[in-house]
Amino acid sequence: MRITLSGPPGSGTTSLARYLAGKHGLDLISAGEVFRQLAKEHGMELAEFGKFAESDPSVDRMIDARQKEIGEAADDIIIEGRLSGRMIENADLRIWLSASLSCRAKRIAGRDEMDEEGARAYTENRQRSEATRYRNYYGIEIDDLSPYDIVLSSETFGVDALGTIVDAAIACLARQQAADL
């Protein structure tokens, strides 16, 4: 089973990806973790590295190409990243998580040890930067959710409830794939 999990910053994609990977024995690759690691390696804060990536398309292209290569070659994997649902052409299930900006800013503030106002500004700037890069590099409008099989609100549902919903979808797909054999 090849699952992609996407959503805006702070929507809970990493938490759900970890849940699903653990429950279903899937490998996990996270574009966000790769991006954070590269920022660290370049001695930059995440927002600063995002601005750097705007001027150097090779950063995003490298992360996206690597994620695509790994994701399309693996059989039992969850690929978590903003563009994974668009990049992994042979995905069995594409999921998008959503939540309001205020909800996501609270989560980011708690996770990254900043105040909510700072987290909101940081998140808005990050989203703007990513949307610009995705449009310029790939012609992708990130707000177009048409590639996704499931769109869920992580503001309405916690990780366990989201996991239960996705578990049901995985079970349905597994039965369908078995019947197709």
Whole-angstrom Cα distance, residue 77 to residue 93?
11
Q: State yes or no: 55 annotated in a binding site.
A: no
Query: Per the annotation, does 147 bind a ligand?
Result: no
8 is in an annotated binding site: yes
11 marked ligand binding residue: yes
Strand order in the sheet with 77-80: 27-30, 77-80, 2-6, 93-98, 150-153
What is the distance between the alpha carbons of residues 89 and 70, in angstroms, rounded to a whole number? 12
7 assigned to a ligand binding site: yes
The CA distance from 113 to 116, in Å, is 9
- Residue 15 annotated as binding? yes
In the chain, what is the greatest distance between 2 CA atoms, to the nearest angstrom?
53
Residue listed under structure tokens 């574009």? 31
Is 10 annotated in a binding site? The answer is yes
- Sequence ranges of the binding site for ATP: 7-15
- Sequence ranges of the binding site: 7-15
